Amino acid sequence: MIGFYDYTVILTYMSLVSSISGMMFTVNGRYKTALVCLALSGLCDMFDGKVARSKKNRTEDQKNFGIQIDSLCDVVCFGAFPILLTYCMGLRGPVGILILAMYGVNGVIRLGYFNVMETKRQEETDEAGKYYKGLPITSISVILPIVCIMKGICHGYFELILHCTMLLVGMLFIMDFRMKKPKNITLAVLVVIVALALMKIFHVY
């Protein structure tokens, strides 16, 4: 079989399966479960890079395959999936569709740029990068569950909040700024915050 098969890509594939499941839940109107799937995809993505770097004897082909497969899965998990989910949750009409189209295009541009720069960086060092350039596309897995809490608070304005969120996040994908990568303690705090948001959402919808 073609491809590279080792433990370094398991979490990436788990993230993809979770998002595919989430899209199926979305089209069946099960938005709470879909948001859980999105959060699980984000959780897997938090650690897939650490797992990949734990394998010290990877060939250049294996490294490049990991970079490509990670971004390809991210297009589905944090690009197509949130677009479908937010569309079904209310981002419809000309303005909503335009925002979602922009979000998708900017997400692809960001991931393509990342692939080019990350391939170049890994040719120079095996160390993890210390900064993100622009907002990482995976951030939507944290942002969207938190924003969805607003549905129970701002009943009449939730769709407007959703529009503004997707517009802002999509623009930040390609903005030229540096953001320091979170440390393990920060990641743990984010996991707790998203978990609490999801528990709250189950009482909202």
For residue 159, pLDDT beyond 80 = yes
Q: What is the pLDDT of residue 123?
A: 64
The fraction of the chain above a pLDDT of 90, given in percent, is 59
Average pLDDT on 118-140 reads 78
Q: Which residue has the higher pLDDT, 187 or 26?
A: 26
Average pLDDT on 70-92 reads 96
Find the range with the poorest average confidence among 66-70, 104-108, 128-132. Answer: 128-132
Q: What fold, for 7-201?
A: Four Helix Bundle (Hemerythrin (Met), subunit A) (1.20.120)
Q: Which residue has the higher pLDDT, 155 or 47?
A: 47
Closest residue by Cα to residue 138 from 82, 195, 64: 82
Q: What is the pLDDT of residue 130?
A: 79
